[in-house]
Amino acid sequence: MSAIEIKTELQQMIEREKDMGVLEAIRTILQKTSLDPVLKEKLSQRALKSETDIAEGRLLGQEEIRQRTTRK
């Protein structure tokens, strides 16, 4: 699907949407992505690194996650 097709589909969906919460959430997402390109780039790089880690088998086990997230 091309960018133009996605934009057209989103515009149609937004036109039909009646839930203000959904519309405000869409607006917030779009505002945040346009406000801080540095943050967007950092998050994109982190996501790409995570994909590489997963593909290469660098994963944490359940116990390792528990140890890292448990407050001491």
User: Could you please report the per-residue DSSP string of 4-67?
Assistant: HHHHHHHHHHHHH---HHHHHHHHHHHHHHHH-HHHHHHHHHHHHHHHHHHHTT----HHHHHH
pTM over 0.75: no
In this predicted model, what pLDDT tens digit does every residue of 17-48 receive, in sequence order?
A: 999 999 999 988 887 766 677 777 887 888 88
- Tell whether the model's pLDDT for residue 10 goes beyond 70: yes
d(CA 59, CA 55): 9
Q: Alpha-carbon distance 14 to 22, whole Å?
A: 9
pLDDT of residue 31: 79
Query: pLDDT value at position 30?
Result: 83
Going by C-alpha positions, the residue among 35, 39, 63, 59 that lies closest to residue 27 is 35
